[in-house]
Amino acid sequence: MKSIRVAVAIGTLVAVAPLTAGHAFLIDPMGPNAGQVSLSGQDMSFMRGQVIALLERAKIGETRRWTNEKSGNSGTMRLIEAYRAEGRDCRRILHTIKFKGFKDPRSFVVPYCKDGGRWRNAMR
Rounded CA separation 96/54 (Å): 14
Rounded CA separation 78/95 (Å): 7
DSSP structural state of residue 59 = P
Domain residue ranges in the chain: 3-121
In 3D space, the residue among 49, 121, 53, 50 whose CA is nearest the CA of residue 92 turns out to be 121
Determine the average pLDDT of the residues in 115-123: 90
Q: Which long-range contacts (CB under 8 A, 24 or more apart) does 28-33 make?
A: 28/106, 33/102
pLDDT at residue 20, rounded to an integer? 36
Q: Is the pTM of this model over 0.85?
A: no
The model's pLDDT over 26-48, given as tens digits with 9 standing for 90+, comes to 444 334 554 567 889 999 999 99
Residue ranges of alpha helices (H) inside 1-124 are 41-57
The model's pLDDT over 59-74, given as tens digits with 9 standing for 90+, comes to 999 999 999 999 999 9
